[in-house]
Amino acid sequence: MKKLCVVLTVGLMVITLPALALAEDTPVSEMTYILNTFSFLIMGILVMWMAAGFGMLEAGLVRSKNVATICLKNISLFGIAGILFYLTGYNLMYAGVDGGFIGSFGLWAADDAAALAGDYSAGYAASSDWFFQMVFCGAACSIVSGCVAERIKLWSFLLFCAVLCGLIYPIQGSWNWGGGWLSEMGFADYAGSTIVHSVGGWAALSGAIILGARKGKYSKGGRVNPMPGSNIPMATLGTFILWMGWYGFNGGSVLAMGDAASVIEMSNVMVNTNLAACGGMIAAMAMVQILYKKVDVTMGLNGALAGLVSITAGPATPSLGAAILIGAVGGVLVVLAVPFFDKLKIDDVVGALSVHLVCGVWGTMAVPFTDANASFLTQFIGVSATAVYVLVASSIVWLALKHTIGIRCSEEDEYRGLDVSEIGMEAYPDFQTVHLGGMGSPSSGFSASHSAARVATTPVHQN
- CA 211 and chain centroid, separation: 21
Is 22 part of any domain?
no
**Cα distance between residue 50 and residue 32, in whole Å:** 27
The values of phi and psi at residue 53, to 5°, are: -65, -45
Helices vs strands, H then E, count in the chain: 19, 0
Give the torsion through C-alpha atoms of 319, 320, 324, 330, to 10 deg.
Answer: 40
Kindly report the CA angle at 42 between 39 and 43, in degrees rounded to 5? 75
Which region among 73-77, 164-168, 313-317, 453-457 has the lowest average model confidence (pLDDT)?
453-457
**Cα distance between residue 161 and residue 217, in whole Å:** 25
Is 283 part of any domain?
yes
Is 199 part of any domain?
yes
Q: 208-252: per-residue pLDDT in tens? A: 999 999 999 999 888 999 999 999 999 999 999 999 999 999 999
352 within 8 A of 146, measured Cβ to Cβ: yes
Burial per residue of 218-229, b for 16 or more beta-carbon CB atoms within 10 angstroms, e otherwise: beeeeeeeebeb
Mean pLDDT of the 50-75 span: 97
- 377's CB contacts (< 8 A; 6+ apart) are none
Mean pLDDT of the 350-365 span: 98
Q: What is the CATH number of the domain that holds 226?
A: 1.10.3430.10
Of the candidates 291, 359, 369, the one whose C-alpha atom is nearest the C-alpha of residue 330 is 359
**Cα distance between residue 311 and residue 319, in whole Å:** 12
Q: Looking at residue 286, what is its pLDDT? A: 98
Q: What is the CA radius of gyration of the chain?
A: 25
Q: Residue 55, Cβ neighbours under 10 Å: how many? A: 24
Query: What's the pTM value of the predicted model, to 2 decimals?
Result: 0.87
202 within 8 A of 321, measured Cβ to Cβ: no
Give the SS3 label for residue 344. coil
Of the candidates 383, 374, 381, 450, the one whose C-alpha atom is nearest the C-alpha of residue 410 is 450
Q: 9-43: per-residue pLDDT in tens? A: 444 443 343 443 444 444 448 999 999 999 999 99
When comparing pLDDT for 275 and 258, which is higher? 275
**8-state DSSP, 215:** T
**Cα distance between residue 253 and residue 135, in whole Å:** 12
Is 397 part of any domain?
yes
Is 190 part of any domain?
yes
Mean pLDDT of the 142-171 span: 97
Q: Distance from first CA to last CA of the chain, Å, rounded?
A: 98
159 within 8 A of 322, measured Cβ to Cβ: no
Confidence of residue 328 (pLDDT cuts 50, 70, 90): very high
334 within 8 A of 306, measured Cβ to Cβ: yes
| % the chain with pLDDT above 90 | 83
Domain count, the chain: 1
Q: Looking at residue 430, what is its pLDDT? A: 76
Is 390 part of any domain?
yes
Is 454 part of any domain?
no
Q: 410-461: per-residue pLDDT in tens? A: 999 999 999 999 999 998 887 654 444 333 333 333 333 332 232 333 333 3
The values of phi and psi at residue 348, to 5°, are: -115, 105
Is 448 part of any domain?
no
Domain that holds residue 392: 34-101+125-402
Give the SS3 label for residue 121. coil
Q: Residue 85, Cβ neighbours under 10 Å: how many? A: 26
| % the chain with pLDDT above 70 | 87
**Cα distance between residue 291 and residue 367, in whole Å:** 29
**Cα distance between residue 72 and residue 54, in whole Å:** 12
Q: Looking at residue 437, what is its pLDDT? A: 38
